[in-house]
Amino acid sequence: MDRTGRIIKSISGFYDVVDDESEEIIRTRARGNFRKRKIKPLVGDKVTFDATGDLGYILEILPRENSLVRPPIANIDQAIVVTSAAEPNFSSNLLDKILVNIEHNGIEPLIYLTKSDLLTDDKYLELQKVLKGYQAAGYQIFDDQDSYNEEQIGRLEATFTNKVTVFTGQSGAGKSTLLNHIDKELGLATAAISQVLNRGKHTTRQVSLFNIADGLVADTPGFSSIDLMEITPEELPTLFPEFLEYSGECQFRGCRHVNEPNCKVKEELDEGNIMHSRYDDYLYFLNEINSYKKRY
């Protein structure tokens, strides 16, 4: 009788699968013909497997909703973008680039601000105003001045239920510290790898999913390189949720919101309903994507 489950860990050719019904963890191997068919199971994959002997066998990988190369993980529901207020300084350009990449992968991003206690009260209030703009664009924001207070951590954990969550953000933004506040084991796992990565050695990093707050959380920060190589000029405007809200009212279908007449997105920008910094980043990214096209 075939069973179904999800891979939560891979270790040198073995895969730990959580059975959907019994919730027990079964160690499995992939079927021999997977290699011939160039199929590689990923942590996060939903699978059918047979567990009659001492060791189970993965029979089939069910269709993936999405997958990442770094970290190698599939079927991710949300990404917590850890972004620092200071040391390194807040950068809306970098944040927008990460958000666009996450949206491109069909994953829901949430924004978590760290190190705001290093700002003066005035600077913090300024940054909060900027983040209000992201909230208006449809993103969930965690921006308390005391970044790791229990109440805010509790609100973050409440978003994990029935989801697979990864953490991402620029290096030095405080991902390990945040993971430590959620679960000591998670923090330790990520701290150990960032030490290895900082030595400049390329290590193949095994990902594991930890069960937290009725959801699964990856112990590896994602999106180590942020470029827009995979994104087309046609897709880019669809990766800004606040543009999507108005683009149906533009005069032209497929409006790029640049020089077209009767563009609703530009009207809303002029009215102050879309952030200028986001629109500027959009033009900057569009330019970057068009320059790739010229090179290749």
| Residue 169 annotated in ligand binding | yes
Distance (Å, whole) CA 290 – CA 296: 10
91: helix, strand or coil: coil
| Residue 277 annotated in ligand binding | no
| Residue 86 annotated in ligand binding | no
| Residue 133 annotated in ligand binding | no
Torsion on CA atoms 42, 44, 46, 50, rounded to nearest 10: 70
- 203 — phi, psi (to 5°)? -115, 145
| Residue 116 annotated in ligand binding | yes
| Residue 91 annotated in ligand binding | no
| Residue 175 annotated in ligand binding | yes
| Residue 263 annotated in ligand binding | yes
- 8 A C-beta contact, residue 295 and residue 229: no
| Residue 220 annotated in ligand binding | no
| Residue 251 annotated in ligand binding | no
CA-closest candidate to residue 113, choices 139, 86, 135, 83: 83
114: helix, strand or coil: strand
| Residue 255 annotated in ligand binding | yes
| Residue 114 annotated in ligand binding | yes
CA-closest candidate to residue 205, choices 46, 41, 73: 73
| Residue 129 annotated in ligand binding | no
| Residue 213 annotated in ligand binding | no
Neighbours of 213 (CB within 10 A): 18
| Residue 12 annotated in ligand binding | no
Q: Which residues does the annotation place in the binding site?
A: 114-117, 169-177, 250, 255, 257, 263
The annotation places the binding site for Zn(2+) at 250, 255, 257, 263
Q: Binding-site residues for GTP, please?
A: 114-117, 169-177
